[in-house]
Amino acid sequence: MTTLSFFKYQGTGNDFVLLDDRAQLFDIDNHQLVRFLCDRRRGIGADGLILLRPHQQLDFEMVYFNADGYVGSLCGNGSRCAVAFAHDLGLINRETHFQAADGPHEAHIDEDGLVHLRMQDVLGQQEVEEYGIFLDTGSPHLVRFQPASTLAELNVFAEGRVIRYNERFREKGTNVNFVEAPAVPGQPWQVRTYERGVEDETLSCGTGVTAVALAASKRGATSPVHLRTPGGDLHVAYEARPDGSFTNVYLSGPAQRVFSGTIEL
């Protein structure tokens, strides 16, 4: 019988198992183990799992797995939790540079505990016929703007799966974000997300709200954009370039440790 020490964090309801794997002992090909650890009935339960590992030049590297057990692309909320974890471990102070799936990132934790994560520049967006707007913010996202007062009742699981598995997106998959514009300017943009690799609606998606904020810049949103998800509020700041790309993109929001423990394997 072996045991594994873990920490549980959540960022606006997107929850993760975090492992201090600086010894690099975790078998990243053990998809079944990751699925077990993320299993909400038989394991710890989470939307994803994150390894914190050493990096030659940067403060640390984060390796992100979706709950399906496979290494994923950039996880925005998971990155913010990894920064909070590194801070809690005493690895960093308030500023950090770390490696994630899409390359290096800088981030800082402010006095209120909010984590501000700089995203990679986003090259631009592309209309995808009747589906919506597609952007890659470190993970692939389709953004669909919904009519007013329809988001709350939408069956995100069913509607998200239809798009995620259709022939246009099936091969690599995509995350699907359903958005409702504020009824009154200054109120938040409301977002619900179906997440690839979790294959369900999550309470929030960091790279997803980033994609929504950038897509909404063509519909009257201005930086910083206030976004409200079922898991809580996030803010996205950016600078739009004349060529349609975006730079200085920052995702800001809380990241909290919930509990730590050991699990029997």
Ligand X SMILES: N[C@H](CCC[C@H](N)C(=O)O)C(=O)O
Least Å from the CB of residue 149 to ligand X: 26
Respond yes or no: is residue 81 known to be catalytic.
Answer: no
Residues 6+ apart with CB under 8 A from 166: none
Residue 77 annotated in ligand binding:
yes
181/209 with CB nearer ligand X = 209
213/220 with CB nearer ligand X = 213
Residue 248 annotated in ligand binding:
no
Paired tokens of 161 = 């799966």
Residue 196 annotated in ligand binding:
yes
Looking at 18, 83, 205, 225, which residue is catalytic? 205
Residue 93 annotated in ligand binding:
no
In the complex, which residues of this chain contact ligand X (CB under 6 A)? 14, 66, 72-73, 75-78, 139, 175, 195-198, 205-207
Least Å from the CB of residue 202 to ligand X: 6
151/198 with CB nearer ligand X = 198
Q: What distance lies between CA 188 and its chain's CA centroid?
A: 19
132/197 with CB nearer ligand X = 197
Looking at 49, 62, 75, 119, which residue is catalytic? 75
Residue 137 annotated in ligand binding:
no
Least Å from the CB of residue 114 to ligand X: 15
Q: Which residues are catalytic?
A: 75, 205
Residues placed in the known binding site for substrate: 14, 66, 76-77, 175, 195-196, 206-207
Binding residues: 14, 66, 76-77, 175, 195-196, 206-207
